[in-house]
Amino acid sequence: MTALLVAALQVAQPAPDPDEVKAGWVALVLFLVLAAVVAFLGFSLVKHLRRARVNFEHMEADGDQTPERREDPGEAGPRT
């Protein structure tokens, strides 16, 4: 059944002639833009991971005194 379906689709939509198909400048520009976006997101991810690691190390050095775990609840709020 699957072989019959595949054969029917191949007959219904023949492959285009290789002479008729060519890459365009629009596709190249789109590819380069997407590659630049991925590179930017990668650098941004690395930057944020480094910042999170430094913050985590400072938190460990302070004895894990996050606002939820502080002894004095008044320290968690903003100073006025």
Ramachandran assignment for 64, one of left (phi > 0), alpha (psi -120 to 50 degrees), beta (any other):
left
Closest CA to 77 of 66, 69, 67, 64: 67
- Report domain extents, the chain: 24-64
Report the distance separating Cα 26 and Cα 80, nearest Å: 57
pTM: 0.51
Of the listed ranges 21-30, 40-49, 57-66, the least confidently predicted one is: 57-66
Indicate the range of 9-13, 32-36, 66-70 predicted with least confidence. 66-70
d(CA 56, CA 62): 10
DSSP state of 24: -
